[in-house]
Amino acid sequence: MHLLEVKNLHVEVEGKKILNGLDLSVGKGSVHALMGPNGSGKSTLAHVLAGKENYQITQGEVLLDGEDLLALEPDERAARGLFLAFQYPLEIPGVATMTFLRTALNAQRKKRGERELSTPEFLKRVREVAGKLGIEQEMLRRGVNVGFSGGEKKRNEILQMALLEPRLCVLDETDSGLDIDALKVVADGVNGLRSEARSFVVITHYQRLLNYIIPDVVHVLSRGRIVKTGGKELALELEASGYAQYREEAA
């Protein structure tokens, strides 16, 4: 069975059709890249998977390990192993990053019937992961993402991902706004988490990120549906030819 199955998904926002019969199957341990022009529905898919409000699902279904994902609250989806790395991570003044991380981790563990981590256990875990990503302890004491640069915010997303150990990671334009050094740090973080048990959907407009996170499968999204699927070389083709042809094909 596939870890994630999206079947004939139709989604509207305020009466406007965004996803238009999207099908996507992601197997265990594989990395799928989802590419497409602006407005093709990439971020909508990410938000719908994570459970953001104000999207009307008019048709179709989404299964995570065979379970109806759309019937679950966002926090329940997270506890079952879904993680969305935000395109624009939010700043939460007054909530220390440490508090945020511990609350999230223990909420998920509790929901899965696992023991909550003690403070020393938790601190040890965070230090290990933060160290690998070059995140200073001082940053963890600050409010979530408050005063962080674009690169730091994205690194913080990867930190959360590493700590929460999801089964399915959806990266929504994680490369946006990053310079090449920051991009490498983020990509290294992601690559370090690749495993047989973990799958990725990497959403990106540009091929650049895929030089560092090498996908198993590349999909092209246009007008709310997948119009082409291929190997990693498809990303290179797109880089050379652009999205224009897919816009026309979909039309």
Partner 1 sequence: MNAEIRPIKTAAETALAANFARALGTLPGKGTVAALREDAFRRFEADGLPHRRLEDWKYTDLRALVREAKPLAAPPDATAKARAKDAAAALASLEARRIVFVDGAFVPELSDLADLEAGLTIRSTAEALAAGDVELTARLGKIVATDDLAVALNTAFMADGALIHVAAGTALMRPLHLVFVNAGAAAAAVFIRSLVVIEAGARAMLLESHEGSDGYQVNTVLELQVGDDAHVDHIKITGDGAGALHVSTLMASVGAHARFNEFLFTTGGAIVRNQLLVRFVGEGTIAGIRGASLVKGRQHIDTTLVADHAVAACTSRQVFKSVLDGEARNVFQGRIVVRPHAQKTDAKMATHALLLSESAEADNKPELEIFADDVQCGHGATSGALDEDLLFYLKARGIPAEEAEALLIQAFVGEAVEGIEHAGLRDALMEQVAAWLEARSH
**Closer residue to partner 1, CB minimum distance, 202 or 238:** 202
DSSP letters spanning 213-249: S--SEEEEEETTEEEEEE-THHHHHHHHH-SHHHHHH
Contact residues toward partner 1 (CB under 8 A) are 50-53, 73-75, 77-79, 84, 86, 89-90, 92-95, 99-100, 103-105, 107-108, 111, 143, 160, 164
Rounded-to-integer distance, Cα 250 and Cα 242, Å: 14
Contact 228, 210 (CB under 8 A): no
Among 186, 185, 184, smallest CA distance to 172 is for: 186
**Closer residue to partner 1, CB minimum distance, 37 or 143:** 143
- What is the smallest separation between the CB atom of 238 and partner 1, expressed in angstroms? 29
- What is the smallest separation between the CB atom of 172 and partner 1, expressed in angstroms? 11
Beta strands 67-68 and 56-64: pairing type? antiparallel
Rounded-to-integer distance, Cα 133 and Cα 129, Å: 7
- What is the smallest separation between the CB atom of 53 and partner 1, expressed in angstroms? 7
**Closer residue to partner 1, CB minimum distance, 85 or 210:** 85
**Closer residue to partner 1, CB minimum distance, 45 or 235:** 45
- What is the smallest separation between the CB atom of 231 and partner 1, expressed in angstroms? 31
Contact 145, 95 (CB under 8 A): no
- What is the smallest separation between the CB atom of 100 and partner 1, expressed in angstroms? 7
Contact 89, 174 (CB under 8 A): no
Place of tokens 């875990």: 125
**Closer residue to partner 1, CB minimum distance, 52 or 124:** 52
3-state secondary structure of 21: strand
- What is the smallest separation between the CB atom of 65 and partner 1, expressed in angstroms? 17
Q: Give the containing element (helix H, strand E) for 50.
A: helix 42-50
**Closer residue to partner 1, CB minimum distance, 37 or 74:** 74
